[in-house]
């Protein structure tokens, strides 16, 4: 499943919290679909590197910014399989005192100790219960701010910087948002239990503004396979606004965030640089609702204001098999070929869409291949091949087939997914690059060498732009696979 860039994990946490997570240590079930991460990337203090000088023209693929997080937490479900400091997936050893956090090495433990020595007794107090990620993040932010964090600056140009307090708190919106207030209240309860009457616990007004900055500026840190593994606050990068048609993209190497340009841009002006906070494989109405609910703004980007996209994303297939019109199911005839839209055709489309939405909703965490195939069978001939619900089903089917090692089927779904990903994510998106990489990897395994080389080269072309030549995904995984495919094809 595609993962969102800005973090939206907190609603899940709220559900987990409501279901008495604090009383049931294993309430947040670990999912086992996580693959290996990239190389160990040591966490330093929040710092940033600007890669393009002011005023210089920007080329597609240029790295605009590199930044270390101001604060971050590994998701609780990975705490026994990933290092709390570098996020690497490997053999980890637990902190002997709190028994809660795990590290890959003495080195990482030492680096994490600056903050962890204050957090450690708080975690110990409520051990063996799991701490909701948002509560742990708030706790870390409180500690960090108490330790002079408010003076830390994240530079996004040589002279412009942001501090934590420069980020918008959305205080007024949160005060009027019952869902958020309830969430905050439950987190406050956890914090009180963890931190007791510690003098550093802020009053509710102060906590609300920290919480507001966290939920609207938090990033999900993604592993190379694009799974969300941690939540983080980056100061400098928080200046970047959203667009559903972005000209830049954020990718991660360990905890380090990189912003790369995916278009040529006249010069480095951060008011004209946009990344996407959300999944773009959704209709404008869905995207706007999501942005409003999570970030308190109404999107007026070029894509959201264009009605064609909604029409295409929800299109039916024309009854005429040779016609590829994005058909509006409510019309009586196809505007392109004039084929009639029968009530039977309309009913079949509606039924396929309803069934698909219901099943995909149920399979949010884990997709089952047979259920995906059932939806695809219902869609065939009625739902347009570029309808987003068809693409979501294909995506789920692709991942499910990989999970059960059905390589031939996975290849079929993956290849069918490419045009849809390209259409809605754009030519330079990490998910499109990763799709080509996964297809190429399977083809290499199945000794379909020419196709494997083509897909791996396509992956390389895209990922060089979105991740940079020096990213471990290219240096380690992709380069080796391509070398192997080339050697075997001789």
- Which residues contact Zn ion (rule: CB under 5 A)? 83, 85-86, 95, 97-98, 104, 108, 120, 244, 299, 301, 304, 318, 320, 323, 325, 334, 336-337, 339
Closer residue to Zn ion in complex, CB, 143/318: 318
What's the closest the beta carbon of residue 259 comes to Zn ion, in angstroms? 19
Helix (H) or strand (E) holding 286, with range, is: helix 284-295
- 61 near 73, Cβ under 8 Å? no
Whether the upstream peptide bond of residue 490 has omega within 30° of 0, thus cis, is no
Distance of closest approach, residue 235 Cβ to Zn ion, in angstroms: 23
Let me know: does 323 contact 336? Beta carbons within 8 Å.
Answer: yes
Pair type for strands 274-275 and 241-242 = parallel
Minimum CB separation of residue 348 from Zn ion in Å reads 16
Nearer to Zn ion, 16 or 120 (CB): 120
Cβ proximity to Zn ion, 205 vs 322, nearer residue: 322
Q: Which is nearer to Zn ion, 290 or 403 (CB)?
A: 290
Instruction: State phi, psi for 74 to the nearest 5 degrees.
Output: -70, 140
- How far is CA 189 from each of CA 183, 205, 268, rounded to the nearest angstrom? 10, 15, 44
User: Distance between CA atoms of 226 and 65, rounded to whole angstroms?
Assistant: 20
CA distance 141 to 134: 10
Identify which of residues 93 and 377 has a Cβ nearer to Zn ion in the complex: 93
Least distance (Å) between residue 440 CB and Zn ion = 30
CB of 361 to Zn ion, least distance (A): 23
β-strand partners of 221? 230
In angstroms, give the least distance from the CB of 288 to Zn ion: 7
Please identify, using beta-carbon distances, which residue of 122 and 270 lies nearer to Zn ion.
Answer: 122
Rounded to an integer, what is the distance from CA 378 to the centroid of its chain?
29
**CB of residue 254 vs Zn ion: minimum separation in angstroms?**
9
Q: Pick from 351, 331, 353: which is nearest to 342 by CA?
A: 331
- CB closer to Zn ion, 337 vs 486: 337
Q: Would you say 323 or 386 has its CB closer to Zn ion? A: 323
Pairing relation of β-strands 154-155 and 161-162? Answer: antiparallel
| Shortest distance (Å) from residue 380 CB to Zn ion | 16
Can you spell out the DSSP letters for 77-125?
GGTTTB-TTT--BS--EE-TTTS--EESSHHHHHHHHHHHHHHHHHHHH
If DSSP states are collapsed to H, E and C, what string results for 168-217? CCCHHHHHCCHHHHHHHHHHHHHHHHHHCCCCCCCCHHHHHHHHHHHHHH
Closest CB to Zn ion among residues 141, 327: 327
CB 310 to Zn ion: min, Å: 12
């Amino acid at each position: 499943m595609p993962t969102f860039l800005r973090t939206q994990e907190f609603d899940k946490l709220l559900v987990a919290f409501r279901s008495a997570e604090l009383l049931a240590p294993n309430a947040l079930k670990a999912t086992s679909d996580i693959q290996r991460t990239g190389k160990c990337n040591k966490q330093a203090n929040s710092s940033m590197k600007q890669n393009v000088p002011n005023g210089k023209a920007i080329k597609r693929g240029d790295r605009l910014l590199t930044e270390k997080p101001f604060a971050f937490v590994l998701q609780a479900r990975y705490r026994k399989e990933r290092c709390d400091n570098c996020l690497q997936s490997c053999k980890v050893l637990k902190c002997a005192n709190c028994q809660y956090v795990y590290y890959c090495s003495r080195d990482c433990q030492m680096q994490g100790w600056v903050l962890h020595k204050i957090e450690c007794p708080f975690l110990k107090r409520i051990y063996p219960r799991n701490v909701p990620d948002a509560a742990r993040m708030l706790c870390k932010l409180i500690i960090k701010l108490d330790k002079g964090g408010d003076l830390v600056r994240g530079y996004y140009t040589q002279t412009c910087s942001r501090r934590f307090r420069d980020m918008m708190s959305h205080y007024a919106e949160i005060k009027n948002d019952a869902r958020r207030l309830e969430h905050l209240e439950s987190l406050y309860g956890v914090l009180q239990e963890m931190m007791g009457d510690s003098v550093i616990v802020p009053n509710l007004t102060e906590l609300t503004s920290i919480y507001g900055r966290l939920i609207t500026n938090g990033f999900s840190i993604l592993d190379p396979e694009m799974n969300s593994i941690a939540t983080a606050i980056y100061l400098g990068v928080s200046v970047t606004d959203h667009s559903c048609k972005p000209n830049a993209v954020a990718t991660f190497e360990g905890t380090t965030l990189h912003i790369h340009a995916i278009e040529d841009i006249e010069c480095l002006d951060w008011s004209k640089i946009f990344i996407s906070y959300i999944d773009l494989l959704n209709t404008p109405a869905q995207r706007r609702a999501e942005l409003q609910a999570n970030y308190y703004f109404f999107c007026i980007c070029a894509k959201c204001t264009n009605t064609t996209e909604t029409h295409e994303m929800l299109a039916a297939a024309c009854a005429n098999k040779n016609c590829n019109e994005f058909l509006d199911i409510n019309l009586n005839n196809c505007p392109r070929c004039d084929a009639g839209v029968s009530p039977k055709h309309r009913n079949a489309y509606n039924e396929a869409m309803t069934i698909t939405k219901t099943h995909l909703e149920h399979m949010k965490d884990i997709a089952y291949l047979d259920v995906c195939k059932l939806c695809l069978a219902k869609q065939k001939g009625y739902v347009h091949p570029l309808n987003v619900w068809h693409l979501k089903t294909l995506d789920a089917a692709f991942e499910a087939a990989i999970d059960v090692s059905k390589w031939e089927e996975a290849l079929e779904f993956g290849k069918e997914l490419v045009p849809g990903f390209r259409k809605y994510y754009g030519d330079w998106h990490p998910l499109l690059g990763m799709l080509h990489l996964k297809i190429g990897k399977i083809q290499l395994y199945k000794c379909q060498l020419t196709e494997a080389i083509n897909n791996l080269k396509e992956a390389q072309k895209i990922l060089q732009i979105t991740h940079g030549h020096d990213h471990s995904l290219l240096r380690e995984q992709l380069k080796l696979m391509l070398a192997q495919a080339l050697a075997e094809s001789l």
